[in-house]
Structure 1
Amino acid sequence: MNEIPVIAIFDVGKTNKKLFLFDEQYRIIFERTARFTETMDEDGAPCENLESLRLSVFDSLREVFSRKDVVIKAINFSTYGASLVYIDEEGRPLTPLYNYLKEYPAALSEQFYHNYGGEAAFSVQTASPVLGSLNSGMQLYRLKYEKPEIFAQIKYALHLPQYMSYLLSGVPCSDMTSIGCHTNFWDFKQNNYHPWVIKEGVLEKLAPLYSSGDVMPAAFPGNNYAVGTGLHDSSAALIPYLVNFHEPFVLISTGTWCISLNPFNDTPLTPEELAADCLCYLSFQGKPVKASRLFAGYEHEQQVKRIAAHFNQHTGRYRSVEYDGNIIRLLRERNKQDTPPPAAEKGTLQVSLFGQRNLDSFASDIEAYHQLVLDIANQQYIATSRVLKGAAVKRIFVDGGFSKNVIYMNLLAALFPDIEIFAASMAQATAMGAALAIHHAWNSKKMPNDLIELKYYSVTHDATL
């Protein structure tokens, strides 16, 4: 039997941890999903179980290396951002993997922004709103002032994708897609680290910067596979689209966060956009990508639990609810909501209107679910509209969980009647992006141009909003 050359990709989300094997045509020939129980940090806040994650990497690799039908040519990683692993001289983690949703001390935040020009000016420089722990650089700043003895022991602070890469390569590195992901580390105007990173002695804790296409040899003797540096998941998800499409588009990458990414919009962020949770990412090519974030996947998950509990149903029932135009018409009439509510501005986008709705007012759980998705779609319209400027965007692609939600997709088509709306049924955009980033290092074939299957959603009369 001939061994098939493959790349292994670890795709680590907040909820699901996945391993994929792609062949040279970028077909998935193996997939595994795991979930880990969260643990607690020293303050009792929930956090990722880093040891379980580390062990699962080696356990999974032992399994795939034992297969006789494939040969692993390379391994890469895509994970959620805003999470740092602090390692000592021996490469051992010094702290838990702190949760990016952990509350940030107000006094420390005030101290930081007072010292470095104020929130508004600093946010423009670093192309990120003030997000507390979600600005991962602030986690390192906090450690310096709250736990100086641990800060002193840090050899490197690695973002999670680069820590996972380090486990296999032994090479500590920083990657542009992670450093450029609302970290407060990067000055987008100067295209370099922000001066505070040097002044606070943080730069020496950051590993050397590598390109997203760089690879290292595996650290284990006798293995000849290449190890990628790892990528931030939102930037990885954009790669297949940049490879396949050259006309201006916006990608809504949906998961826990729904992130609208416009790689064709290079207009500087305004203070108003920053206040409304817009930011810039750095693409795998090192170019700014204007983005707008919405916590819609998390909101959907929480509200689906509330609907299911109220109507005594199982949450799995809502994975495949059909779009019902009659229900949408009824809800529109009831809500008198002919256009997306313009009042949903700063501070209101991360929690939908649905959380305030009385579930007793709905005739059924399906009606309630349509209202939930309608509320989320209205928020999505506002969030995505913020990044549409700067280029004549003809298409919006939706990938991830919401691309399979026909209610969401029909409503989005109605909200953007002048733009073509497509559900992108591509096998795992984030993982595929991580594979494409190091195509040259493992794949003997040309880069394919048919990676993405698109399903067009036209405006239907009953969905017109």
Structure 2
Amino acid sequence: MSTPVIAIFDVGKTNKKLFLFDENYQMVYEQSAKFIETVDEDGFPCDNLENLRLSVFDSLRAAFSKKEFQIKAINFATYGASFVYIDEEGKPLTPLYNYLKPYDPALQKQFYDTYGGEQQFSMLTASPVLGNLNSGMQLYRMKYEKPDVYANIKYALHLPQYMSYLLTGQPVTDITSIGCHTNLWDFTKNDYHEWVYKEGIIEKLAPLVPSDSVLAPTFPGTGYSVGIGLHDSSSALIPYLVSFHEPFMLISTGTWCISMNPFNNTPLTEEELKSDCLAYLTYKGQPVKSSRLFAGYEHEQQVKRIAEHFNVDTAKYKTVGYDPEIIAKLKGRSDAGLTSVSKDGLKESPFAQRDLASFNTYTEAYHQLILDLVTAQKASTELVMNSSVKRLFVDGGFSKNPIYMNLLAAAFPKLEIFSASMAQATAVGAALAIHSEWNSKLLPTDIIELKYYSITQDVSL
């Protein structure tokens, strides 16, 4: 007899994965592939949309061919701030533009001058000024820089909803994608910001439907339904909201390290916005005060630099354990003061400015990198922390890094610090969002394994 499962596509900036989970949320199948980059019309790197489309179909055909599984539902969680512009026939009109692409300063000034100025606008939309990372600004750019293309856009679909569209043919909009630093949503009105209506952008946005909705598929297969997709950061929070009810914070680590506090609904301040704070919306539409740090990307870049300097494999860091004696030595260095990070200076870790020749070993240099990143992480996380929080969970790549976790415990001595181990929190969140549509069992209470980190050495940050 075949096992009932849900298929989840988890698409990050680096990897795209397909998981199958059984009704106990145990992963029973995994397929992974690297993204193949291409370039847009300006030569700026971007993900290959056609490659992604074909891989969705190929991966699903392979999964459906496995007779030991019965796919009951499919859902998606992807990185945010990325639109796919489709025409009347549902075909993409442009490349999948990279959210790191520079934004024209003159056009950005035009926008904010028209709609109340950066500070006021950012506070209403809970969106720091981030250029193309504010995905609504991508639509504004299309309207003014590519009016011919803009005129042919039937719908602008965020990437999770485009992936759902591939299997259903139904264009929809999801609140978790709209609510993540897009400049589109007015958190004070719980509606689109007035500029979306004044500029006619609303006509390019598909109908807004609940995040736990499912749609009928057009892709071959029987007896399954398709979710509408979720923004990955909001999806990663779902297992924690289901499992824990006492106030907590989650640091979801990946390319970005997002500190999310579901128990802080105070309005964003000007200082917080300048320090890259924002608010997400949960899949139930509730605001989550959050701060962002580009620490995963910084780690990736600096690990390459260290490996090249010491002539070792770039993956060597995975074998490096936590050594408190090295940390104590590093804190006594003459340049230790570099490690301190002001709350206005969270864009780049100090490690990029360090001379690698000043470190005796790879291990020493790598400890310094993590020390710098955790110092920045502490400053970032504290921006959205409040006194109600007693626990801090860490999931994603850094949760498996013993140096990071031990230093984080030292950074927050009054909190209970846990690395959260589960089979892909982002993917599980997307499965939980539509639990009742595919799963005959009750919501699970034991899907997150926690490892407690205490301060065992005299190390403080």
TM-score, structure 2 length as denominator? 0.99
Shift of 1:344: 2.0
After superposition, the Cα gap between the structure-2 partners of 1:239 and 1:188, relative to the gap in structure 1 and judged at 3 Å, is same
After superposition, the Cα gap between the structure-2 partners of 1:166 and 1:332, relative to the gap in structure 1 and judged at 3 Å, is same
State the alpha-carbon separation in 2 of the partners of residues 338 and 248 from structure 1: 34
Partner in structure 2 of residue 141 of structure 1: 140
Partner in structure 1 of residue 127 of structure 2: 128
Equivalent residues of 1:397, 1:421 under 8 A apart: yes
Partner in structure 2 of residue 323 of structure 1: 322
Matches within 5 A, 1:404-423: 404-423=400-419
Partner in structure 1 of residue 200 of structure 2: 201
2:114 is equivalent to residue 118 of structure 1? no
Q: Per-residue displacement from partner, 1:377-412 (whole Å, max 9, x unpaired)?
A: 0000000001112x5101000000000000000000
Equivalent residues of 1:410, 1:463 under 8 A apart: no
State the alpha-carbon separation in 2 of the partners of residues 212 and 137 from structure 1: 19
- Cα RMSD after superposing both structures: 1.2
Tell me the SS of whatever aligns to 1:117: coil
Amino acid at match of 1:453: E
Equivalent residues of 1:161, 1:231 under 8 A apart: yes
State the alpha-carbon separation in 1 of the partners of residues 319 and 182 from structure 2: 36
After superposition, the Cα gap between the structure-2 partners of 1:203 and 1:331, relative to the gap in structure 1 and judged at 3 Å, is same
State the alpha-carbon separation in 2 of the partners of residues 439 and 253 from structure 1: 22
Identity, in percent, stands at 68
Partner in structure 1 of residue 243 of structure 2: 244
Matches within 5 A, 1:361-440: 361-389=358-386, 391-440=387-436
Shift of 1:345: 2.6
Amino acid at match of 1:95: T
State the alpha-carbon separation in 2 of the partners of residues 65 and 222 from structure 1: 8
Partner in structure 1 of residue 231 of structure 2: 232
TM-score, structure 1 length as denominator? 0.98
Equivalent residues of 1:326, 1:462 under 8 A apart: no
Shift of 1:335: 4.8
Shift of 1:464: 2.9
State the alpha-carbon separation in 1 of the partners of residues 208 and 334 from structure 2: 51
After superposition, the Cα gap between the structure-2 partners of 1:175 and 1:111, relative to the gap in structure 1 and judged at 3 Å, is same
Query: Structure 2 unaligned runs (5+)?
Result: none
Q: Per-residue displacement from partner, 1:7-35 (whole Å, max 9, x unpaired)?
A: 00000000010110000000000011100
Query: Structure 1 unaligned runs (5+)?
Result: none
Shift of 1:224: 2.6
Partner in structure 2 of residue 457 of structure 1: 453
Partner in structure 2 of residue 21 of structure 1: 20
State the alpha-carbon separation in 2 of the partners of residues 222 and 233 from structure 1: 26
Tell me the SS of whatever aligns to 2:188: coil
Partner in structure 1 of residue 68 of structure 2: 69
State the alpha-carbon separation in 2 of the partners of residues 222 and 40 from structure 1: 34
State the alpha-carbon separation in 1 of the partners of residues 283 and 75 from structure 2: 14
Q: Per-residue displacement from partner, 1:334-377 (whole Å, max 9, x unpaired)?
A: 15758972x5232x212100000000000001100000000000
Equivalent residues of 1:86, 1:94 under 8 A apart: yes
Amino acid at match of 1:452: I
Shift of 1:463: 2.6
State the alpha-carbon separation in 1 of the partners of residues 186 and 74 from structure 2: 30
Partner in structure 1 of residue 222 of structure 2: 223
Partner in structure 2 of residue 179 of structure 1: 178
Amino acid at match of 1:371: Q
State the alpha-carbon separation in 1 of the partners of residues 339 and 310 from structure 2: 28
State the alpha-carbon separation in 1 of the partners of residues 458 and 401 from structure 2: 17
Equivalent residues of 2:277, 2:290 under 8 A apart: yes
Tell me the SS of whatever aligns to 2:80: coil
Partner in structure 1 of residue 343 of structure 2: 345
Equivalent residues of 2:338, 2:350 under 8 A apart: no
State the alpha-carbon separation in 1 of the partners of residues 271 and 58 from structure 2: 47
Moved over 6 A (4+): none
